[in-house]
Structure 1
């Protein structure tokens, strides 16, 4: 009891006063020490148990494994695992689940999977641990694959399982798989509690179905702050700033949920992408004044981004200089991004200088500055910046685009010819490019691109990963059906312009999720209003 209330020293005093201790009392002390962060003391009692001739049982090892504070205890965790293997307790499901969990927390998913695979009997807790571990470590395809294996074995998921797998679908942008999980929830009667419903909102919003996300939100009988935040953030992702602000006002007027830092970040982000400067200013100033929520670096970065996107670069710089916090990479990075949009090289030099000092090994800032110079046709300065990247042997994140076809995710890179249908993909791209040119399309060769160098030729711009993925979608889906793609970087000006023309000449709706937001293309128009 004292250990569970965090009163470890009181528990220790009682333990030492006992005339006679057995494995049960020792297990209680071991677990109490470990769960409160006193890992070395837990090991000390374990040694006493072994030294006195006592025999540990499964509860001993479950309590001993430093699940709640594994960081810095990797060697100890592996030693305990070795002892468990020698003792034969790895056959116990509780012990195996604890081992799996600690490896997940150590970000060693390979060791976690090995421990999971040798379990003689997998519990729901062990399935959930592995699926959520994969999702939390960005191994979304592994999480989905394991969930499909779970389904094939007729293991019924619970709310924890479904929330974890929906998170994986959201990260991957796998709408079809997300809908399949939603059907499983309905079919198998998984209780639609606040956590599952919120995970569904997050999944639909991040997979491009903001209308379905709102339908689920409205149907919820119980909402918490995470539910409201997920819906507000979803509107921001889709550039629906006014809807986000209205929902934020509904949240305040309900008098049931108090906004927190995530709430304000979500609505400020929506204001930024929607160009709602006045609303953003008002909401930012209300944080500390009305709701006692102190703005953090991420809120200041969002404000700089909002002002910068709106062309108020001078005000954005003054905002940074007046800020009561030290401007970090997020703040200066937002300003540099705004300089790119408005081609302000002088301010870009200032912002990049700060960024080079804060994160000298981040190549993204160098590439962005180079692109700003290139957009202003100052090719000598652009080359100087690129040479700096090469001299320091920095590598930038390569651009890639994902598309889901028949429950399978396909990845394309710029100029990619690895797909088995590559010939058909390029033929379709050539065909629609001809129609686009007839409709008035011209390649934006001077656009500041994130995923290619400036000197690359027009032919390379024509085969960016987004265009290849869309062409594959056109030959793989029914005429008139919607095409959805995901870009890992910000969509470039040429691809944005080209996708507008593609939506017009093919009479298709094309939904693009890039690193910042969603773009819904229909009849030659983008939902962002060319403001992204």
Structure 2
């Protein structure tokens, strides 16, 4: 996933917790609580146990260092007769670091009651505490105190207020604070951009970004990352690529945060060549590849269908976090390599560095479902609870229903749902509905389909699946009723699109679309493809077409599905023997699956298609899914 990175200075200036002159005892040399206690004993002997300057350093070490012994800090704090602002600020920050936001506000109240005047280092952690606890009214009161104490020009407090109002989805007040700032730094701009993006106002975020002074924008990688990440998180990948290209033209160097965001964009579009370029840049530029960035690279390769490259990065990582393991197991699941996913889990258990978690078993059970490993799926569904104490959640039940349903064990899948300790959600029921469609169980499918539509009335895919179930049974009146219900509720069928990356450029196609500059040549190529595969036995698969129309009319829309257009464009633009890699936002239909198999044989090409559920590797007239998807 893409990361929004803000400089540490948004919280508090680092210098705010340094005091001069140094106390007479070397507290700064402490590295453990044992050492600190020895120093503390000497301080008491020297008669300095009530000295704010000395004890403030003791409290700082205990409250906000990596030792994080807040209880010891509080014991020292409560002994002091009159703590100064530095000590109050340190304890407030300690509460924030320990995720105790209410305590921050309570201590601030005590600070005021004891007539200790807050300063510019008091308010940033207080404001952050209000964000954590969604304390809107308290946040506004803290804002009033910022004004009361004359800190309208303090950048640290003002930037935190912008963040707070953005976090509350009060973007109007966030903008007011921003507009009143005399000196807007990188953090000010980036925080407002991130606030808009957080709530989906990406165009507003873009306007803020574009209004940045050119010199500030050129020198602010963090604002570029915020805007690129905003596009990525909104699935506006093409705009992310365009902005990244603009960033390169303005000679703004990529850091690990921008790299992670762009890798996520490559993942979303299946843009392998761009992803490889970014990976190469990371290596050549010496950008630190921590576990998080490493996992992002692995995810990109997995979701572009390059498991060998993903494994190479995975094995190269010195420190593999749980996310790295989960990502690799998930990649194997998407390609239907269930046995390999199980072996990777066993390797993870042998290393004993990290333990499998909830997500690990979601991915593993998904791998079993996509590979038809029924017994293994049943085994690991029980294993995760018996061995690791992980109680099955909605996703695990969804995988089991999918596993059993795909295999035609509809009654067992229904039994899993009936025995769930929690109410099944639309994902679990949808898995059973899909299985009913595959295996033609009209009665059960109709029952589940109506439930799914009512649970998710705005999802067009639910209506289409039920309508197709009726269509396959020839129940055209019911098909019409479903379509009428969609129209009455204003539900539009989600348009399918496919993308293909060639020579570093990403082209997008929609079914029947003719906006591409080479549309004439592409459609001619589609017709050529279809003519050639007819000679080896191609007959259009018209299952799943929603209308009651003649066979001839039903064939034509299938001819120009988005993946067929993408394949045709790929054949036009590449040399014989080159692999075509295509990403589709919906599940591949039966006809396009059959066409892809035959094209791979007739044109002697490998075609890799990533649809909404998994990967399909077509080669020599066969698919890696073995027609099980």
Structure 1 length normalisation: TM-score?
Answer: 0.93
| Aligned match for 1:113, one of 206, 216, 219 | 206
| Aligned match for 1:99, one of 187, 192, 197 | 192
* Contact kept? 1:23, 1:55, Cα under 8 Å: no
Query: In the alignment, what sits opposite 2:31?
Result: none
Q: Higher Cα Rg: structure 1 or 2?
A: 2
Asked whether 1:3 is paired with 2:92, we answer yes
Residues in 2 aligned to 1:16 and 1:500: alpha-carbon distance in whole angstroms = 77
Cα distance, 1:51–1:494 mapped onto 2, change above 3 Å: same
* Contact kept? 1:58, 1:94, Cα under 8 Å: no
| Aligned match for 2:283, one of 186, 192, 202 | 186
The residue matched to 1:155 in structure 2 has which SS?
A: coil
Asked whether 1:233 is paired with 2:322, we answer no
Tell me by how many angstroms 1:14 deviates.
Answer: 1.9
Residues in 1 aligned to 2:131 and 2:589: alpha-carbon distance in whole angstroms = 51
Cα distance, 1:22–1:220 mapped onto 2, change above 3 Å: closer
Cα distance, 1:37–1:305 mapped onto 2, change above 3 Å: same
Query: In the alignment, what sits opposite 1:176?
Result: 273
**TM-superposition CA deviations, 1:367-404 (whole Å, max 9, x none):** 11121122233334333333332343321101121112
Residues in 2 aligned to 1:32 and 1:351: alpha-carbon distance in whole angstroms = 45
* Contact kept? 1:128, 1:160, Cα under 8 Å: yes
Residues in 2 aligned to 1:507 and 1:480: alpha-carbon distance in whole angstroms = 7
The residue matched to 1:457 in structure 2 has which SS?
A: helix
Query: In the alignment, what sits opposite 1:350?
Result: 447
| Aligned match for 1:442, one of 539, 548, 573 | 539
Tell me by how many angstroms 1:126 deviates.
Answer: 2.2
Residues in 2 aligned to 1:319 and 1:364: alpha-carbon distance in whole angstroms = 24
**TM-superposition CA deviations, 1:153-198 (whole Å, max 9, x none):** 3322222221221111101111111111111112211122212211
Residues in 1 aligned to 2:412 and 2:620: alpha-carbon distance in whole angstroms = 36
**TM-superposition CA deviations, 1:449-488 (whole Å, max 9, x none):** 5xx6463521222222211111111111112111111111
Q: CA RMSD in A?
A: 2.1
Moved more, 253-262 or 405-414: 405-414
| Aligned match for 2:559, one of 456, 462, 465 | 462
The residue matched to 1:3 in structure 2 has which SS?
A: helix
Cα distance, 1:453–1:198 mapped onto 2, change above 3 Å: farther
Query: In the alignment, what sits opposite 1:88?
Result: 182
* Contact kept? 1:34, 1:63, Cα under 8 Å: no
Cα distance, 1:24–1:389 mapped onto 2, change above 3 Å: closer
Moved more, 25-34 or 212-221: 25-34
Residues in 2 aligned to 1:27 and 1:373: alpha-carbon distance in whole angstroms = 60
User: What aligned pairs does 1:228-267 form with structure 2 within 5 A after superposition?
Assistant: 228-267=325-364
Q: Work out the number of aligned pairs and report it.
A: 525
Residues in 2 aligned to 1:116 and 1:314: alpha-carbon distance in whole angstroms = 55
Tell me by how many angstroms 1:328 deviates.
Answer: 1.3
Query: In the alignment, what sits opposite 1:529?
Result: 626
Structure 2 length normalisation: TM-score?
Answer: 0.79
Query: In the alignment, what sits opposite 2:49?
Result: none
Residues in 2 aligned to 1:508 and 1:27: alpha-carbon distance in whole angstroms = 59
The residue matched to 1:442 in structure 2 has which SS?
A: coil
Asked whether 1:499 is paired with 2:588, we answer no
Tell me by how many angstroms 1:348 deviates.
Answer: 0.4
Query: In the alignment, what sits opposite 2:502?
Result: 405
**TM-superposition CA deviations, 1:28-83 (whole Å, max 9, x none):** 5445545554343333233244346554321120122244x745x333x4224224
* Contact kept? 1:159, 1:195, Cα under 8 Å: no
Residues in 2 aligned to 1:49 and 1:444: alpha-carbon distance in whole angstroms = 68
| Aligned match for 1:74, one of 158, 165, 169 | 169
Cα distance, 1:406–1:54 mapped onto 2, change above 3 Å: closer
Residues in 1 aligned to 2:152 and 2:621: alpha-carbon distance in whole angstroms = 73
Cα distance, 1:422–1:111 mapped onto 2, change above 3 Å: closer
* Contact kept? 1:3, 1:33, Cα under 8 Å: no
Structure 1 gaps of 5+ residues are none
Tell me by how many angstroms 1:332 deviates.
Answer: 0.8
